[in-house]
Structure 1
Amino acid sequence: MTSAQAPGIDAREVTQLADRLADAARGAILPYFRTTTLGTTSKLHTGFDPVTEADRAAESEMRAILSAERPADGILGEEFGEAPGSSGLTWVLDPIDGTRAFLCGAPTWGVLIALSGPEGPLYGVVDQPYTGERFRGGLGLAELEGPMGRRPLSVRRGLALGQATLATTFPEIGTEAERAAFGRVAAEVQLTRYGMDCYAYAMLAAGQIDLVIEAGLAPYDIHAPMAVIEAAGGIVTDWQGGPAHAGGRILAAADPALHRQAVALLAEA
């Protein structure tokens, strides 16, 4: 969904508020990063799906701002669930996407903030507090602000599949069938990188990565990256080329040719 499909939205108000949310999350999270006293629990009875004090603190800060500033909007957050609204708009929040990376001290995690309508994200921010990088996309904006200033975001185009860089969060992506599908694409590209979390999507929007393939995502994992990538000229769908905003199996591509080739490989029996 583009800003042209979002009548009545004040782009300046939305972008400024999203920056305030990202600033609040930075302030809540950074005191916990690369410390040895971080409290961590697992959401799963078996396995390890970590959540930290930093996750909860950041989402609490963002929700407090939204409740005061946009009480009619809904909120969907990873840590505290859904609060329905009456405006038809929902703020979709993931306070730390990449908690495992966060626990390891690796800076591939990020804060994800999106404003979405029923058909998907209208505006998104992918913020990396430690490196000071903020990727914005939607409502007429596609830019990176960071230590080297501001610059437009634009995907890389024109590479053949054999020249492309592919990224994912986990090498053990999804089910056995999903791993095999991912492997078919990985066998064709020039370079595959693992453990990238939301930073892979940001790098696709910045023209550094060409494909991101993941499975098992929730809506709060993909709304902000989707907005940023689409604003930068890329494509985000499910593995069949359909809508991606519900999560699940996600394919992000820098251009239509790569997207078509990846869809075909993912679909092979």
Structure 2
Amino acid sequence: MTQPNHPQAAGRTTLGDAALDAEIRGAAAALADAARDATLPFFRSAGLAADNKDDAGFDPVTQADRAAEEAMRAVLAERRPQDGILGEEFADRPGTSGLTWVLDPIDGTRAFLSGAPTWGVLIALNDSDGPVYGVIDQPYTGERWEGGLGRAQLTGLRSTQALRARGPRPLDQATLFTTFPEVGTPEERAAFERVSKQARLTRYGLDCYAYGLVALGQIDLVIEAGLHPYDVCAPIAVIEASGGVVTDWEGGPAHGGGRVLAAANPEIHAAALSVLNGG
């Protein structure tokens, strides 16, 4: 599993203080608002260009990705300059607080380029043990998932509702998502297929939106491989706050990226994990 490169200080900031938690949540909301303002002018705009970051395939980055991360970094420079930053598009910024913001300005750039509203902005706050708070924000639909520091909620255009992942059900009644049909290596694809063949319904695409649906109680599983820390830290915080479970394919911590299994509850997580590993 790829290990996270967190620019954290030697000491650890203790969260749980009401004033500090409120400050963190306020900073995260400001980050998400800034990313909305930066991304929406580009979405479904004519002539949006993309650079390719992968010579062997297609890993696009757009002006909107860069603008959103720049906007979020500017917010942190003003509101939380003592914290570290790990972002997708720009260099790590060391911090002194023991806390690191993990930012993905557009998770699902391919969807963004295609005009599909299944991309999102991912914002997580990590301490030395991993994510403690996360936001999955969809600027176009106006949906914002929030998890950790006493919060587990989805705020939409018309209402705010508590997040609660689905209860246990047999694997043959489960709904499973992954972003890319190939999943990863041929071996990883074969492992995913073992689970998919037992699930009732398998769907593809959605990027971070699928993790939001786990937290919302709509689906049961997301299985992916080849992820980076900025792809998964925010979903971990949101899903765990809703009662779900997120690990790697061995059942260990997933905030470093790599292979990720997100599940609505411990029972279906255990069933999927067993099948993934040939059980």
TM-score range, shorter chain: over 0.9
Q: Does 1:6 align with 2:15?
A: yes
Contact 2:16/2:149 (CA < 8 Å) preserved in 1? no
- Aligned partner of 1:198 in structure 2 is 208
Contact 1:119/1:245 (CA < 8 Å) preserved in 2? no
RMSD: 1.3
- Which residue of the other structure, out of 55, 61, 67, is the alignment partner of 2:77? 67
Q: Unaligned 5+ residue runs, structure 1?
A: none
- Which residue of the other structure, out of 151, 173, 177, is the alignment partner of 1:141? 151
Contact 2:15/2:21 (CA < 8 Å) preserved in 1? no
2:188 is matched by which residue type in structure 1? Answer: E
2:15 is matched by which residue type in structure 1? Answer: A
Instruction: Provide, for residues 104-149 of structure 1, a one-character-per-residue CA deviation record: whole Å limited to 9, x for no partner.
Output: 1111100000111111111100000000000000001000000231
Distance 1:161 1:256 in 2: 12
1:258 is matched by which residue type in structure 2? Answer: I
Q: Unaligned 5+ residue runs, structure 2?
A: 1-13
Contact 2:31/2:75 (CA < 8 Å) preserved in 1? yes
Distance 1:164 1:198 in 2: 19
- Aligned partner of 1:101 in structure 2 is 111
- Aligned partner of 1:153 in structure 2 is 163
Displacement over 4 Å in runs of 4+: none
Aligned length in residues: 266
1:147 aligns to what SS in structure 2?
A: coil
Instruction: Provide, for residues 187-210 of structure 1, a one-character-per-residue CA deviation record: whole Å limited to 9, x for no partner.
Output: 001101101200000000000010
Contact 1:125/1:135 (CA < 8 Å) preserved in 2? yes
| Greater RCO structure (CA 8 Å; 6+ sep) | 2
- Which residue of the other structure, out of 23, 48, 57, is the alignment partner of 2:33? 23
Contact 2:191/2:276 (CA < 8 Å) preserved in 1? yes
Map 1:34-49; keep pairs closer than 5 Å.
Answer: 34-49=44-59
- Aligned partner of 2:96 in structure 1 is 86
Percent of pairs with identical residues: 63
- Aligned partner of 1:132 in structure 2 is 142
